[in-house]
Amino acid sequence: MTGYQEVITDPSYRGQIVAMTYPQIGNYGVNPEDSESAAPHIRAFVIGELCALPSNWRSTQSLGDYLGAHQILGIEGIDTRALTKHLRSLGAMRACVTTELDRAAAITAAQASPSMAGMDYVQEVSTPLGYHWQEESRRWRQPNASTGETSNYDELPPVRHRIVAYDFGLKFNILRRLRQAGFAVEVVNARCSGAEVLAKNPDGVFLSNGPGDPAALDYIHHEIRHLLGKLPIFGICLGNQILAHAFGGSTYKLKFGHRGGNQPVKDLRSGKVAITAQNHGFAVDPASLPPEIEVTHVNLNDGTVEGMRHRALPVFSVQYHPEAAPGPHDAAYFFQEFADMIDTNKR
């Protein structure tokens, strides 16, 4: 129902056609504050019905105009729930959305398109130049007219730790959450070497989400392996899978990925279940992990790995998105857990 702008601008969707199951999309338009990156990353957008008259006091543009401005093809009038059931039976597949080809040519084009397996989209979405995150870190809220307050943001806490964040397809809300947890964040390109990171003398390293096949990122696995045992490390989504490869493990392509904001995950240490936001098409093979790696979280739908922790080193990761955007906030505590891990490591 909500969150379509965040999905469209999530770099993890690079190279994918996205279909939304809610019947009408675009009801509240779009606005600059809700983007998760500088531009859309989806290949095409498939919906049941486009709202012709969006209404929201924060809206600055309709969804249709936004997609048009960025030359993203959209199609409506699709039975997206039937499409979803089809994919849930046969698995995620290659597709073609076109205004030019006939049926046979469109099928041929879809079949000829590259598979997600083996694809490195990280190089397409990673920041070309490193930067220090400065903006949009404050927690948004509606001003309180009765008190005369006009600010849209809560004040930020003081900086407790300095970290380096690898950008494999980093979402803005991860940076916001890190800053809200007391981190000063320097973002680096995916090809930044481990030696370069250590030369910055950070308190920890963050490994971001991102698109494509984690097995295709050998050049990243090598550099992260170089950092193990030297700094606290926290990974999310693709960052979790990259850590698995750095540990000596492997990943595999799921028949259909985990998408959306209602994925149940069980913490094997506490027994607690969280409802989580997820977006990934690959999973960690638990049998491939060395004995020093503990699987801490599993997906209750299919039993796949959702979190890991090194038994001796200050390294942990989750497959899902604790920053959500969109989605539930059940797992937001991991940012504080990362801060506490760094505190412990400094003692």
Give the residue numbers marked as catalytic: 237, 321, 323
> Residue 66 in contact with residue 31, Cβ under 8 Å?
no
The closest of 60, 61, 15, 22 to 41, measured between CA atoms, is 15
Which of 261, 265, 271 has its CA nearest to residue 240? 265
Measured CA to CA in angstroms, residue 102 lies from 44, 72, 98, 215, 304 at distances of 18, 20, 9, 35, 40
Answer for the pair 178, 206: CB distance below 8 angstroms, yes or no: yes
Token pair, residue 318, equals: 């989750």
Are the C-beta atoms of residues 3 and 21 closer than 8 Å to each other?
A: no
Paired residues of 186 in beta bridges: 132, 164
Tokens of residue 228, six digits? 């193990």
DSSP structural state of residue 108: H
How far apart (Å, rounded) are the C-alpha atoms in residues 280 and 210? Answer: 9
- DSSP state string for 296-341: EEEETTT--EEEEEESSSSEEEESSBTT-SSS--TTTTHHHHHHHH
- For residue 335, give the amino acid letter: F
DSSP bridge partners of 317 = 235, 308
- The whole-angstrom separation of Cα 324 and Cα 307 is 16
At residue 83, what is the residue type? L
Q: String of b and e for 16-34 (b: at least 16 CB within 10 Å)?
A: bbbbbeeeebbbbbbeeeb
Q: Is the separation of the CB atoms in 279 and 250 below 8 Å?
A: no
